[in-house]
Chains A and B, each alone.
Chain A
Amino acid sequence: MSAPSAPAERLYGLMAEFHGPAEVVAAAHAVHEAGYRRVDAYTPYPIEELTEALDLHHSPLPKLVFAGGTTGLLAGFGLAYWASTIAYPMNIGGRPFNSWVSFIPPTFETTILFSALTCVLGMLALNGLPQPYHPVFNVEAFVLASRDKFFICIEAADAKFEREETRKFLRGLPDVSAVHEVTP
């Protein structure tokens, strides 16, 4: 709810609304150049340029997935090796107990499985999902962030945040269509 006539109210931040992707990217550059750091943009589809404009750090996900895959590889091969040579050695057509060539297909599959699990759970964890509540949903117009509108939110926790100053700054951005207050 954007209630402009309640100045004593605490704020989560201020949110500017845009009509198009190019406008929001230009605004993100301006916001970043103005020195705001606790900023996030909300868009209906991924826009690569926004990542650069907001100077987001590289996602640690690839490293996590590599670690997950390595675990899967060792676990898969370890299981096959342990089951076939230690726990239940069985002579099958005179093959060696450690017939490692035959263990490659199951090992390959566990590598992929562990990597994929790490990838999906890691992505959700890094994004803090599932998250039942977030202040941005208090803005009525925000339902359009999943349709055709683009938003930039500067959080009140930003060192440079100054309610009226920031509002004036956001209003002054080119092509901005509205500025909303975000209640916590």
Chain B
Amino acid sequence: MASLPHDDRFQTEADRLIAPGHDFGSVTDKISQIVLKRRTPLGWWVGFGIGFLLMNLLFLTIVNLLFRGIGVWGPTVPIGWGFDIINFVWWIGIGHAGTLISAILLLLRQAWRTSINRFAEAMTLFAVACAGFYPVFHTGRPWVAFYWLFPYPNTMGLWPNFRSPLIWDVFAVSTYASVSAMFWFIGLIPDFATLRDRANSKPFKIVYGMLAMGWRGSAKHWHNYETAYLLMAGLATPLVLSVHTVVSWDFAVGLVPGWHATIFPPYFVAGAIYAGFAMVLTLCIPLRKFYGLEDFITMKHLENMAKVMLATGLIVAYGYTMEAFFGWYSGSNYEQFMVWNRMTGPYWYMYWMLILCNVIAPNTLWIPRLRRSVPFLFFISFVVSLGMWLERYVIIVTSLHRDFLPSSWGMYAGTRYDWAAFVGTIGLFITLIFLFVRFLPAISIFEMRTLVPGAEIEEEKA
């Protein structure tokens, strides 16, 4: 084995990305045994069971919705977008951290992304699946919605309106889901090969063997593979920025006060990354604890994620400030009223809770001691998730409920079916995450090998 690498990545406890004493073999065995060991831990069954029950609640609400129509949900004139769009934007935003970690941090050569990228990408996929549920079922009868969502030659000779942000949204979200799935899958191919070679039971060998597609780690393969991986990162980077930009255009292209603002795209993207990192923390803190992965997901990872959350949280806070400033500076009665109504109107408590969660709470992360406290990070990740949900609530509901004409003002509250669908998608998410952790390597094995001391070849030896 070559001597220790010369960079200081492995030197101090606070800075290292992998605990000392690991080699290629131990990294491989430690991660693959989570998947390959025969007994499923009891805790897994408990978590999966909870998720599975809640997921069935989602199925029940879908059946109820399809039989009775979307009147069972709360949205009605003037608030035509309620929980369905709030939750859609919330979920899709959560997904963004996965792509940021896997693509943007790869291009920026941030080695710390390596141990968290795999499950962050899985989180992206599952969050997009949860997000997709809402607009599809908000159409009421999705099977007759296809002709105005997707461009295909239909018997009516109709084509979608390409000037509409809602069609942009369909293109953006479906491309995002497809590209994320492909990126995730090619990342998994070498690890499937590892599992194929390690699996003890015949069925697992066959399944992982088929998924690995005959991967043999040849230098020629790796050469094309690395090129493809880098290209995918380069493609996913502008894509992820475009997705939440397009989502923000669903609002910003409209004329409603509180929606019609040029700051929306950058502030939505920052908010998405902020919410996504909170969800990555929510998932990886229990994961590293229960599976003993502290060697691979170190304090350095948690602290870096906290720093990203702090930075994006400050951008989001800037967005709120500018929103209020634009409202005042516009000189428009409607815009000024919207800002005042948000802060002091019937939904004032939502607004101030949002400020508490998204503007005040992340500033605690300036303090190094709090940033390095695992329980505190776990707590703050929930605060941020709640804050981002409130942000979408405030943007959608308070903008719509009092627009231009006082005669068309109204109030909104989610019905029990709205809540059931929301809790149900959380169940779907939990179920998928638990299945993922049980059957696929939650940490990229082949990329972890590159972090092992001696993996990098020193110039004079090569």
Judging by beta carbons under 8 Å apart, are A109 and B162 in contact?
no
**Given A21-B2, A26-B462, A43-B217, do A92 and B161 touch, yes or no (CB 8 Å)?**
yes
Contact with B along A12-43 (1 / 0, CB 8 A): 00000001111001101000000000001111
Q: Does A177 contact B (CB under 8 A)?
A: no
> What is the interface of chain A mostly: helix, strand, loop, or mixed?
helix
Q: A43-B217, A45-B447, A59-B223 are in contact. Are A116 and B24 (CB under 8 A)?
A: no
CB distance from B151 to the nearest CB of A (A): 6
Say whether B446 contacts A147, CB under 8 Å.
no
Closest to B170 in A: A106
Chain A's nearest CB lies how many Å from the CB of B3?
10
* Pairwise interchain contact B457-A22, C-beta atoms closer than 8 A: yes
In the docked arrangement, what's the CA distance between A173 and B188, Å? 34
- Contact yes or no, B217 A84, CB < 8 A: no
Given contacts A88-B157, A92-B161, are A129 and B218 in contact (CB under 8 A)?
A: no
A46 and B225 CA atoms in complex are apart in Å by 9
Contact A120 B232 (CB under 8 A): yes
Tell me if B220 and A127 are in contact (CB < 8 A).
yes
Which A residues are CB-close (under 8 A) to B2? 20-22
A54 to B218, CA, bound (A): 11
For the residues of B in contact with A, the DSSP-based class is helix
Q: Does A169 contact B (CB under 8 A)?
A: no
Q: How far is the CA of A131 from the CA of B215 in the complex (A)?
A: 8
A interface footprint on B431-462 (CB within 8 Å = 1, 0 otherwise): 00000000000000011011000110110011
Mark out the residues of chain A between 108 and 155 whose CB falls within 8 Å of any chain B CB in the assembled complex: 108-110, 112-113, 115-117, 119-120, 122-124, 126-127, 129-134, 136-137, 142-148
* In contact, A87 and B190 (Cβ under 8 angstroms): no
Q: Give every chain A residue within 8 A of B249 (Cβ-Cβ).
A: 105
* With known contacts A25-B462, A88-B159, A127-B220, A116–B235 Cβ distance under 8 A: yes
Question: Does A71 belong to the interface (CB within 8 Å)?
Answer: no
B161 touches A25 (CB 8 A): no
Residues of A within 8 A of B85 (CB): none
Which residues of chain A are within 8 angstroms of B28 by Cβ–Cβ distance? 44, 146-148
Residues from chain B with a CB closer than 8 A to the CB of A43 are 217, 219, 222
- B219 near A50: Cβ-Cβ < 8 Å: yes
Interface residues of A in 58-73 (CB under 8 A from B): 59, 61-62, 65
A103 contacts partner chain B, Cβ-Cβ < 8 Å: yes
Q: Contacting chain A: which of B34-42, B171-179, B349-357, B378-386?
A: B171-179
Flag if A119 contacts B228 (CB, 8 Å): yes
Pairwise interchain contact B172-A127, C-beta atoms closer than 8 A? no
Query: Among B11-19, B62-70, B238-246, which stretch is in contact with chain A?
Result: B238-246
Q: Residues of A contacting B213 with CB < 8 Å? A: 124, 129-131
Q: Are A22 and B186 in contact (CB under 8 A)?
A: no
Residue B295 interfacial (CB < 8 Å) = no
Q: Is the CB of A51 within 8 A of B231?
A: no
Taking CB atoms, residues of chain B closer than 8 Å to A62 are: 227, 231
**Residue numbers in A under 8 Å from B158 (CB-CB):** 88
Most chain B CB neighbours (cut-off 10 Å) among A50, A90, A103, A117? A50
List chain A residues, Cβ under 8 A from B165. Answer: 105
| B residues in contact with A129, CB < 8 Å | 189, 213-215, 221
Whether A147 and B197, one on each chain, are in contact in the complex, defined by CB atoms closer than 8 angstroms, is yes
Contact B163 A87 (CB under 8 A): no
13 sampled A-B residue pairs with Cβ under 8 A: A42-B219, A44-B217, A44-B449, A50-B222, A53-B462, A56-B219, A83-B159, A108-B238, A120-B185, A122-B228, A123-B186, A129-B215, A137-B216
